[in-house]
Structure 1
């Protein structure tokens, strides 16, 4: 028996970023979207890694680290980072899943 067909971490990171760009106007303030668009070329970051424990509070899934990637999207300033979205995305081609925790409005 073969295991699940998986996207690479790079592929799901690109997918997560595309989803972020598509949904950001509906989930972030106009100012946040403006700030991100203005500064993303020089200050933007996209980091992928293993999902952290916080996801257990938000999704009712067994989060197997080899099947999911956590992607952070934000801006990196000298004095602080601004995290706009924390994304949990599935690598399994046959079981698509994506959940986003958006930056809180201030």
Structure 2
């Protein structure tokens, strides 16, 4: 028997970004959405990495680094980065999972 069927990191990063775009208007302030839309082409970033320890406070899952990816979506300004969403997404094609920590409204 083989292991789980996994999406590539690139595939789940694209999925996470699509989910971010779909849900952002309901989870970010109007100003944050406007800022992101205005500046994303020049200053936007999407970074993927291994999930950090913070997720243990939010999800009751065993987070195995080979099965999950953490994706950060934000804007990179000269003086300060703005992180709009921190996303935990599963690479397992048979066990979809996504959890998003949204930027708090100011």
Is the structural similarity TM-score above 0.5?
A: yes
Deviation for aligned residue 1:102? 0.0
Corresponding position: 1:46 with 2:60: no
CA apart distance, 1:95? 0.1
Which ranges in structure 1 are unaligned for 5 or more consecutive residues?
none
The runs of 5 or more residues in structure 2 that have no matched partner are none
- Matched with 1:86 is 86
TM-score for the superposition, normalised by structure 2: 1.00
Task: Report whether the alignment pairs 1:65 with 2:53.
Answer: no
Instruction: Please report how far the alpha carbon of residue 37 of structure 1 lies from its aligned counterpart in structure 2 after TM superposition.
Output: 0.1
Q: Give 4+ residue runs of structure 1 displaced > 3 Å after superposition.
A: none
SS at match of 2:64: coil
Query: Any residues of structure 2 matched to 1:4-19 within 5 Å, and which?
Result: 4-19=4-19
Query: Which residue of 1 is the match for residue 96 of structure 2?
Result: 96
Give the Å deviation of 1:7.
0.1
**What is the CA-CA distance between 1:96 and the residue it aligns to?**
0.0
Q: CA RMSD in A?
A: 0.2
CA distance in 2, matches of 1:32, 1:78: 17
SS at match of 1:61: coil
TM-score, length-normalised on structure 1? Answer: 1.00
**Secondary structure of 1:40's match?**
helix
